[in-house]
Amino acid sequence: MRLKVNGQVHDIDVEPDMPLLWVLRDELGITGPKFGCGIAVCGACTVHVDGVAERACSLPVGDVEGEVVTIEGLGTPDALHAVQAAWIQHQVAQCGYCQSGQIMNAAAFLAENSDPSDPDIDEAMSGNLCRCGAYPRIRAAIKSAAVTLREAQNG
C-alpha cells in the first residue's frame, strides 16, 4: 500500500486495519503524533488527512485517502506554521506530550474559522486534552495565530 506523508510517498507492507498512528511511528519513524488513549478521546495522536484533523490511533491505515500531514510537516523548512510560532510566543507547552496533537487540531480549526471567539476555540479544542491545564495559553495562542493568518491572507 502507498501512503503519502508530509509530501513523501511511502510504500508500506502492513495490514489495512493497522492504526495509522502505529504506521507513522513504528513503520515510518515519525514520532510527533503520540499515543495517549488509543480510543480517539485525548487527541495526542491528531494528524491532518487532506487538511482535516483526524485521530491516528483509531484510523485504520487502509481507510486513509489523501495526504497525511503530521506536526513534522506542518510548517515549511524555512518557517514555522503560525500556530507553532504562537505556541512558542505564548509559552504554551509544559510537559509537551499533548502539544503536537493540540497544534494539529488548532491548525485545522483555524483553516475553517479564521476569526474564532473564545467559545468557538473551547468547542473546537474540547477533544484535545492537556493534563497540565495549559488551556488559557492554548486559547491565547490560537487567537494570536488567527490574527497572524488573517494578516497573511490580507497581505
* Alpha-carbon span 83 to 102, nearest angstrom: 10
Q: Which residue(s) pair with 4 in the sheet?
A: 9
* Alpha-carbon span 9 to 123, nearest angstrom: 34
The pTM score is: 0.95
Sequence-ordered alpha helix ranges (H) in 23-134? 82-89, 99-112, 118-125
- Could you tell me whether strands 2-5 and 8-11 are parallel, antiparallel, or unpaired per DSSP bridges? antiparallel
**Exposed (0-12), middle (13-18) or buried (19+): which is 132, by Cβ within 10 Å?**
middle
Is residue 43 very low, low, confident or very high in pLDDT (cuts 50, 70, 90)?
Answer: very high
The percent of residues above 90 in pLDDT, for the chain, comes to: 94
Mean per-residue pLDDT, 144-154: 95
- What cell does 62 get? 487502509
| 105-134: pLDDT as tens digits | 999 999 999 999 999 999 999 999 999 999
Mean per-residue pLDDT, 2-9: 97
* Alpha-carbon span 69 to 34, nearest angstrom: 14
pLDDT score at 73: 97
pLDDT score at 155: 77
* Alpha-carbon span 29 to 70, nearest angstrom: 12
C-beta atoms surrounding 143 within 10 Å: 17
Domains of the chain: 2-73 (3.10.20.30), 82-154 (1.10.150.120)
